[in-house]
């Protein structure tokens, strides 16, 4: 009888270990391929996303071929020159009349989170911090006031290349984005933000 009890306990322990291992494997697989949490590191997306907020990012649908749309908030790898506001096109970007139309070719290992304001084939200019897409100023009630500096106005429109997306932070006066270092290849996009989950009083779906 005791032998049977010991055997049952041993089997239960083995089953528990297997269940834990399977659960761990599934959790790691889901995080690697389907969804992943991200922490907001800067104020460039305020007031929509504040420093320290956590968001869940859908990585799977992009892997399956779903491309970002205008209005989506996405996590992506910027161009390698993003930290230095380095534009891949001469005479564009910071201090000029037109936003940057081409990034440097190398991808950074950093991850940024911004909003898609234009996609491949669109024209884009900036007026008082607002995106002017295909000649029409976008309705963007969610953005912070740009502050009226030179970085808030790029009146000369550029065309976003096919297969690229143009990114801007919602905090237009405090965001390093595609205005300065160019649009981002769709292949550099990691996934779309689905929902904020922390802190609890800021829970919101996009």
| Active site positions, annotated | 44, 114
The closest of 164, 21, 182, 5 to 93, measured between CA atoms, is 182
CA-to-CA distance for 197 and 180, rounded, in angstroms?
Answer: 31
- Which three-class secondary structure state does DSSP give residue 97? coil
Q: Bridge-partner residues for 125, per DSSP?
A: 132
Q: For the chain, how many residues are written?
A: 206
Q: What is the dihedral of CA 191, 99, 153, 70, to 10 degrees?
A: -30
DSSP for residue 43 = S
Is the alpha carbon torsion for 148, 151, 157, 159 positive or negative? negative
3-state secondary structure labels for all residues of 146-190: CCCCHHHCEEEEEECCCCEEEEECCEHHHCCCHHHHCCEEHHHEE
Q: Under a CB-based contact definition with an 8 Å cutoff, are residues 193 and 57 in contact?
A: yes
């Amino acid at each position: 009888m005791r032998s049977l009890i010991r055997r049952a306990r041993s089997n239960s322990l083995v089953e528990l270990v297997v269940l834990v291992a399977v659960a761990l494997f599934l959790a790691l697989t889901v995080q690697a391929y389907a969804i992943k949490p991200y922490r907001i590191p800067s104020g460039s997306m305020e007031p929509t996303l504040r420093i320290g907020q956590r968001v869940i990012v859908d990585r799977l649908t992009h892997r399956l071929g779903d491309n970002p749309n205008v209005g989506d908030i996405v996590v992506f790898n910027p161009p390698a020159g993003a930290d230095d506001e380095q534009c891949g096109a001469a005479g564009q970007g910071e201090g000029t009349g037109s936003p940057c139309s081409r990034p440097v070719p190398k991808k950074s290992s950093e991850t940024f989170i911004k909003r898609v304001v234009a996609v491949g084939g669109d024209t884009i200019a900036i007026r008082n911090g607002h995106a002017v897409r295909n000649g029409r100023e976008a309705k963007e009630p969610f953005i912070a006031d740009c502050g009226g500096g030179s970085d808030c106005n790029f009146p000369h429109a550029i065309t976003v290349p096919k297969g690229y997306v143009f990114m801007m932070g919602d905090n237009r006066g405090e965001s390093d984005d595609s205005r300065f270092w160019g649009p981002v290849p769709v292949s550099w996009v990691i996934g779309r933000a689905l929902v904020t989950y922390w802190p609890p009083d800021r829970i919101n779906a996009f």
